[in-house]
Homo-oligomer: A and B are copies of this chain.
Amino acid sequence: MSLLTLDNPVFRYFAFAAAIMIVKMMSQGWITVYRMIKVNGGFRYPEDAQQGLANPHPSPAQLLPNEYVERSRRMHENDVENIPLFLVTGLLYVCTAPAAITAAALFSTYVLSRLAHFYVVLTARSHELRATCWTIGSVITYFMAGAIVWNVLKY
């Protein structure tokens, strides 16, 4: 029997958590777009500082780095370093047929820690808070990777 079907409650939990993280990460791109529009700058492509529908009054200064925009880019980079890893690790973890309660706890804690990380970085809270949120997600990823290795070795 396949474990990667909606009949499997662990897969449903994972698919739901994965979809939230996918929407979160995809939305970070839109937040960068929103911030570039708001400050009318922070662009990185030379062609973006040329006249067009979206830029009636171009200026070379629009290509200078803007911290408000760069923050969103760094958040995106952090997503890129963590979320695809969670998505694949979670999927392989589902294939090891974990207990539903353990899996649900791991997936929901991961999602909550990443949403908290998002809020903490967006609002420029303390380094300690950001590090804590990131560490939770990191430890859950390690735990699932360990569970995969354990299940392969004990097979």
Question: Contact string, A36-47, partner B, CB cutoff 8 A, digits 1/0?
Answer: 000000001111
A6 touches B46 (CB 8 A): no
Query: Quick one: copies of this chain in the complex?
Result: 3
Q: How far is the CB of A145 from chain B (nearest CB, A)?
A: 4
Q: CB within 8 A of A92: which of B18, B47, B76, B134? A: B18
**Which residues of B are found within 8 Å of A134, using beta-carbon distances?**
29
- A75-116 contacts to B, CB under 8 A, are 76, 79-85, 87-89, 91-92, 95-97
Chain B CB count within 10 A is highest, among A29, A48, A152, for A152
The A interface is mostly helix, strand or loop, or mixed, namely helix
Interface: A118 (CB within 8 A): no
Q: A2-B2, A6-B96, A92-B15 are in contact. Are A47 and B125 (CB under 8 A)?
A: yes
Those 9 A-B pairs whose CB atoms lie nearest each other, nearest first: A2-B2, A84-B84, A87-B88, A19-B145, A19-B148, A22-B145, A48-B127, A19-B149, A16-B152
19 more contacts with CB within 8 A, not counting A29-B81, A80-B84, A91-B92, are A1-B2, A2-B4, A4-B4, A4-B95, A5-B95, A15-B96, A15-B148, A18-B88, A19-B145, A19-B146, A19-B149, A22-B89, A22-B145, A26-B85, A44-B74, A46-B67, A47-B127, A52-B127, A88-B91
